[in-house]
Amino acid sequence: MHLTAIDWAIVAAYFLLSAGIGVAYTKKGGESLSEYFISGRQVPWWLAGASMVATTFAADTPLVVTGIVTANGVAGNWLWWDFLMSGMLTVFFFARLWRRARVMTDVEFAEIRYAGKSAATLRGFRALYLAIPVNLIILGWVTRAMIKILTISLGLREVHVGGIAISGEVIAVGICFLVTMMYSVAAGMWAVLWTDLVQFVIKMTAVIILAVYAVAAVGGMAKLKAGLAAHFGSEAAALSVLPVRMTPHGVETYAWMPLMALLVFLGVQWWAAWYPGAEPGGGGYIAQRIFSAKTERDGVLATLFFNVAHYAMRPWPWIVTGLATILLYPNGIGPTHDHEAAYVQAFVDLLPTPWRGVMMAGFAAAYMSTVGTQLNWGASYLVNDFYKRFLNRDSTEKHYVAVSRWTTIGLFLASAVVAWQLSSIEGAWKFLLAMGAGTGLVLILRWYWWRINAWSEISAMIASLVISTICFFEVPGRWYPVGDPRNDSMIMLITVAGSTVIWIAVTFLTPAEDNAVLDSFYRRVRPGGRGWRAVSERLGFGQEPIPGGALAWTNWIAGIVAVYGSLFGVGKIIFGDIGAGVILLVIALLAFAWIARSFRSEPSPPGLAIEPERMAAD
């Protein structure tokens, strides 16, 4: 692909802007750990929410969606659309509680909810587990995806350094990585947040423009629909948002989505499986943005905005372009018939100057937003929850910020090694999802049931890891052919069932947390609900409802209706079914109005007791 001087100028301007943001916030980010990792808890909801969305828009995301719709049509996206239900749980049941906890990381939560050696062990183990294997695998696969993008788009030649041949694509990715590391190391979360906002605008602009050109390249929307109907056997098979169809025998699922797999997606996976960015009960970098929010309300609104944008705003440009590539490149790209790579080939073939420059900047932004967050997020665990907690508890804030910067550099170097060794992005994704299966329920209940203890979490993690690892190698081919979606469903069901039995048994076989620990946590967070009734009455608060009361449940349902209604309504309008699209959008608007009304009538949060030593630390 030929880039003109104008295209390169756009790319250069983007890199200079990102570096400039890092320089602007270096002094502020270096003041303390709180400033470096959670921006001093002074972030407005719109900035925190935009950062969440930008982080989950990685360089590999449009490629993955293209592969999904090529194989299974629009409805194939239920592989990730089902996580909306978990996301809305975070909005209405957990965002407030995370903000009230006033911790710096979700791992630190272990030692305000539990106590003793078991709590310390849980905190230390989760810090290392999330910061090193989980974090590095994610950094590795987004880096591999970026290398694929640059290989197709630029075709850079090898460079020989000291007799060693290094591909130009690796050098280009290295430049993106180094610029990201520079602002992440220098300024911490403030730089990550503001660059995320810029990157989100650039990314969305780029993918919308590409979708427009892709539809034009196939001859317009009518010809796109006709071609897809011929390819999939019917227009419904290609464009239906539901993986079901009407037959003379009733309602059936498509062959690629057996009923068992669909029921697991909709009924189990979203609450049972832990996965970065879609954690039951919140957590990870979503929780980190909630911690950074100015107020409890800002935390809730940021998470709501994220779920709306993540599921309803972003997917359609990717999907439309992915569908167009089915007609433009019916055999995929290259000797391996790579359909994911067709997304990149489309922008190489279709976009003129200056949109090529915008798209190159967009891919760089998609890559850098994810990398910036992963580096800062991983360093927060290693420094706040391991180094400061277990190795050096009495140094100055300046010292901890310096260690954080060096830790970020270390994660950068380690992730480069992982990216070089990682052979299968899809395999890594499935393995992470399987490892987290079975932990979701305990992560939800720890907020709303006093009897959960540290051993509940520890046993759930160990059981899930062991059972899922065994199933990952033993289940495929045992009941269903290798590659059948029901294998993944069986892995999920076996892991969830086995780990749940184990952690519930461990919970009742081990002592409950001391009343002093439970009382301190309840005063701090005030989760309410029947699961804390004995504690709340003992403390004189009476029978407190959960935050939001019964409205939390109606808002959760309204949130799901609002986002799915928006998602499906926009899709209907894009493909020409204006009447159905408008009806769905009106339903979505009514659901949003319900949520807004309940927010206005919601009582002020209760007075919360914050431990004096924690106040000093904050």
- How far is residue 392's CA from residue 613's CA, in Å, rounded to a whole number? 17
Under 8 Å between Cβ of 168 and 158? yes
- How far is residue 563's CA from residue 91's CA, in Å, rounded to a whole number? 13
Query: Tokens at residue 254, please?
Result: 């498509």
Amino acid 478: pLDDT? 84
User: In the structure, what pLDDT confidence band is assigned to residue 251 with cuts at 50, 70 and 90?
Assistant: low
DSSP E strand stretches across 168-296: 244-247, 250-253
Q: Which of 118-122, 127-131, 388-392 has the lowest mean pLDDT?
A: 127-131
Mean per-residue pLDDT, 9-16: 91
User: In the structure, what pLDDT confidence band is assigned to residue 318 with cuts at 50, 70 and 90?
Assistant: very high
Q: Which residue has the tokens 């959008």?
A: 585
User: In the structure, what pLDDT confidence band is assigned to residue 115 with cuts at 50, 70 and 90?
Assistant: very high
Q: What is the mean pLDDT of the chain?
A: 87
User: In the structure, what pLDDT confidence band is assigned to residue 612 with cuts at 50, 70 and 90?
Assistant: very low
Query: Tokens at residue 499, please?
Result: 């780990």
Kindly report whether the peptide bond that precedes residue 258 is cis, defined as omega within 30 degrees of 0.
no
pLDDT at residue 459 greater than cutoff 60: yes
Query: Tokens at residue 560, please?
Result: 């799901």
Q: Which range has the top average pLDDT, 267-271, 395-399, 481-485, 560-564?
A: 560-564
Amino acid 444: pLDDT? 94
In Å, the largest CA–CA distance within the chain is: 74
pLDDT at residue 616 greater than cutoff 50: no
Q: Which of 278-282, 551-555, 567-571 has the lowest mean pLDDT?
A: 278-282
Report the share of the chain in percent with pLDDT over 90.
Answer: 53
- Of 1 and 463, more confident: 463
Q: How far is CA 139 from CA 189, 356, 425, in A?
A: 18, 25, 11
Amino acid 127: pLDDT? 93
Beta 244-247 vs 250-253: how paired, if at all?
antiparallel
pLDDT at residue 285 greater than cutoff 70: yes
Under 8 Å between Cβ of 202 and 365? yes
* Cβ neighbours for 216, distance < 8 A, ≥ 6 positions apart: none
Amino acid 579: pLDDT? 96
Mean per-residue pLDDT, 305-326: 95
DSSP E strand stretches across 224-356: 244-247, 250-253
- How far is residue 178's CA from residue 412's CA, in Å, rounded to a whole number? 9
Amino acid 156: pLDDT? 63
Amino acid 567: pLDDT? 96
Amino acid 180: pLDDT? 75
pTM of the predicted model as reported, rounded to 2 decimal places: 0.90
pLDDT at residue 606 greater than cutoff 80: no
Query: Tokens at residue 112, please?
Result: 């305000």
Domains defined for the chain, CATH in brackets: 1-33+51-261+271-423 (1.20.1730.10)
Q: Which range has the top average pLDDT, 130-144, 220-234, 246-260?
A: 220-234
User: In the structure, what pLDDT confidence band is assigned to residue 414 with cuts at 50, 70 and 90?
Assistant: confident
List pLDDT tens digits, range 156-198: 655 555 556 666 666 767 776 777 777 777 778 888 899 989 9
User: In the structure, what pLDDT confidence band is assigned to residue 413 with cuts at 50, 70 and 90?
Assistant: confident
